């Protein structure tokens, strides 16, 4: 990743951390601001496991959006690491967003995060997302509940999915950024390595098709990317699960499930790369991987 691209005139750059309960729409908002897919989206909790940085340019400003795992009570080494990463990112950010789900209202989890942000000594804005699903009365009630959290006077109603209200939020965030050289190359939409992004895009298709314990027990690792041909990229990936029963679910009757996942993932990779992709996807059992600190280190889940 090259840093500090030259640009005429004074430049601004900084980090904005996105915090919220699982499934409030953080990844959707990051993708909307960046203008392309850098974070996977699913209705399953724990979809985001790493802090994913999306990089958005607006004039002479570079906004680095940190899509954090949903704040939750840690249950194992994996979720403990996710929670610790959230708290570290608060401290390192130039600004923070607290995302609320307008449909669900404010709950104990939102109040817990608001308290953590209040202790972080960083400018905070509150986003009430999913207003496209609310009538006027429910929108006003959601905005009032957001104000009562007391964490910020800056409250933005928006729909990350439709883009409504997103640019007003971006203008506010840009004004908070310090004067600084650019932190990343202006052409990079994310700081993720290709192996990580490709693995996440494959995992997204697994999340969309599996239920109960399987989504939480799956990790995808891309072992090889061969782009020696201009018109074809070969990707070799492995989906890890924790039990033989989960492997059976993921493969499906006569291999139908893994074939459907592989086809959908290949199409998503082709959309991302703009060339034909050959995806070799296999399933392996690795018992207890979520509690294996050495393995979590190798997976980049800090």
Phi and psi based region of residue 254 (left: phi greater than 0; alpha: psi -120 to 50; beta: remaining)? left
- Is the CB of residue 10 less than 8 Å from the CB of residue 174? no
Mean pLDDT of the region 54-61: 96
Residue pLDDT, tens place only, 223-246: 999 999 999 999 999 999 999 999
Give which of 66, 53, 48 is closest to 200, Cα–Cα. 48
DSSP character string of 77-130? HHHHHHHHHHHHHHHH-SEEEEEEETTT---HHHHHHHHHHHHTTS-EEEEEE-
DSSP character string of 144-188? HHHHHT-S-S-EEE-BTTTTBTHHHHHHHHHHHSPB---SS-TT-
Mean pLDDT of the region 244-260: 95
> Where is average pLDDT lowest: 3-7, 239-243, 294-298?
3-7
Mean pLDDT over each residue of the chain, to the nearest integer: 87
Can you list the domains of the chain with their CATH numbers? 12-176 (3.40.50.300), 194-298 (3.30.300.20)
- Is the CB of residue 101 less than 8 Å from the CB of residue 129? yes
What three-state secondary structure class fits 13?
strand
**What does the pLDDT read at residue 78?**
62
**What does the pLDDT read at residue 296?**
67
Residue pLDDT, tens place only, 144-203: 999 999 999 999 999 999 999 999 999 999 999 999 999 999 999 998 889 989 999 999
**What does the pLDDT read at residue 81?**
64
Mean pLDDT of the region 71-87: 63
Which pTM was predicted? 0.80
Q: Six-digit token pair at 94?
A: 């130039």
Q: Which residues of 191-227 are buried (b: 16+ CB within 10 A; e: fewer)?
A: bbeebbbbbbbbbbbbbbbbeeebbbbbbbbbeeeee
**Cα 292 from Cα 272, distance rounded (Å):** 31
């Amino acid at each position: 990743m090259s840093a500090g691209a030259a640009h005429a005139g004074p430049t601004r750059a900084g980090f904005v951390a996105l915090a919220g309960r699982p499934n409030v729409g953080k990844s959707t908002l990051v993708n909307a601001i960046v203008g392309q897919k850098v974070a996977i989206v699913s209705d399953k909790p724990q979809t985001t496991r790493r802090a994913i940085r999306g990089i958005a340019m607006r004039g002479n400003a570079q906004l680095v959006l940190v899509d954090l795992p949903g704040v939750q009570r840690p249950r194992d080494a994996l979720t403990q690491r996710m929670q610790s990463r959230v708290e570290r990112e608060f401290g390192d950010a130039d600004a923070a967003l607290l995302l609320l789900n307008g449909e669900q209202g404010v709950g104990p989890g939102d109040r817990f995060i608001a308290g953590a942000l209040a202790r972080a000594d960083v400018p905070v804005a509150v986003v009430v997302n999913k207003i496209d699903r609310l009538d006027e009365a429910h929108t006003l009630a959601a905005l009032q509940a957001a104000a009562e959290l007391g964490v910020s006077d800056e409250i933005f109603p928006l729909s990350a999915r439709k883009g409504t209200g997103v640019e007003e939020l971006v203008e506010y965030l840009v004004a908070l950024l310090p004067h600084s050289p650019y932190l990343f190359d202006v052409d990079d939409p994310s700081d993720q390595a290709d192996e990580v992004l490709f693995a996440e895009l494959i995992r997204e298709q697994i999340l969309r098709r599996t239920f109960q314990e399987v989504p939480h027990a799956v990790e995808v690792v891309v072992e090889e990317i061969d782009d020696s041909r201009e018109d074809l990229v070969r990707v070799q990936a492995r989906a890890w699960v924790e039990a033989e029963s989960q492997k059976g679910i993921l493969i499906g009757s006569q291999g139908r499930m893994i074939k459907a996942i592989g086809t959908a993932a290949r199409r998503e990779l082709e959309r991302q790369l703009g060339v034909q992709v050959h995806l070799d996807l296999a399933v392996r059992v690795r018992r207890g991987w979520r509690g294996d600190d050495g393995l979590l280190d190798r997976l980049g889940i800090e």
